[in-house]
Amino acid sequence: MIALLPMKIHSARVPNKNIKHLHGQPLFFYIADSLKKSGKFDLLAIDTDSDKIADLARARYGDWVRIISRVPELRGDDACFFTILAYDIKLLGVENDYFQTHSTNPLLSTETIKSAVERYIIGNRANELDSLFAVSEKKKRYYDRNLKPINHDPAILLPTQDLDVIYEENSNFYIFSGEQFIRDRHRIGSNASPYVMGQNPAEAIDIDEISDWDFAEMVLKSGYVYE
């Protein structure tokens, strides 16, 4: 199985966030360290348009990391992410399984990574699933864009713990085979299974805004153990 970590240098809302120091080290070190500690991956493949990211990764991870220099036609903010993944998978081998994640998930734990990979392997071998993706469980009152209740009846004020569960695709990770991705052109296959992450909102954080960055910094400063 190959861990796939695409990263570009430009970021609009948090400038240079992939290499910006979060609590003392570049952001992408957190997820890359957790991937390595899990012992589940033969290789970490980093697709990037940045020599700086490449140099930092090689210095820290040595032969375990393979740098894929992003081709010119796939660079820039408007490049199609799925085209980038397809390019990487064809280069690395469609016969492999992939664990695709993001640098913006710094608190994803090694234990969650190991558990998810093991569930995928068992389910895939038994033909019970063709892909696995991370979700967060939500028990709050939700409405659609027209303010129509989604998971509750406003006339019945149930405690939140008794509401129907809503699952959020939290983008922490996707596990799939190269063949399934090329066939479906999607990380989530036709026989996908969700992996429900724990109730700790810190672990599932996806840094998109500066407020997310500040929250992650605060969590790490508090002594939170994310391994």
As assigned by CATH, the class of the 2-131+170-221 domain is alpha beta
pLDDT tens for residues 22-81?
999 999 999 999 999 999 999 999 999 899 999 999 999 999 999 999 888 888 777 888
Cβ–Cβ < 8 Å for 29, 223: no
b (16+ CB within 10 A) / e for 84-108: bbbbbbeebebebbbbbbbbbbbbb
Would you give the DSSP letter of residue 7? B
Assign residue 77 a region (left: φ > 0; alpha: ψ between -120 and 50; beta: otherwise): alpha
* pTM of the model as a whole: 0.90
Alpha-carbon separation of residue 225 from 109, 120, 173 (angstroms) = 9, 25, 20
Cβ–Cβ < 8 Å for 8, 18: yes
Closest CA to 81 of 187, 216, 10: 187
Q: Please report the sign of the dihedral spanned by the C-alpha atoms of residue 75, residue 77, residue 82, residue 83.
A: negative
Average pLDDT, the chain: 91
pLDDT tens for residues 134-167?
999 887 888 889 899 888 888 888 887 777 888 8
Share of the chain above pLDDT 90, in %: 69
Q: Please report the sign of the dihedral spanned by the C-alpha atoms of residue 154, residue 157, residue 160, residue 166.
A: negative
SS3 sequence, 174-189?
Answer: EEEEHHHHHHHCCCCC
b (16+ CB within 10 A) / e for 171-205: bbbbbbbbebbeeeeebbbeebbebebeeeebbbb
Closest CA to 114 of 37, 187, 60, 46: 37
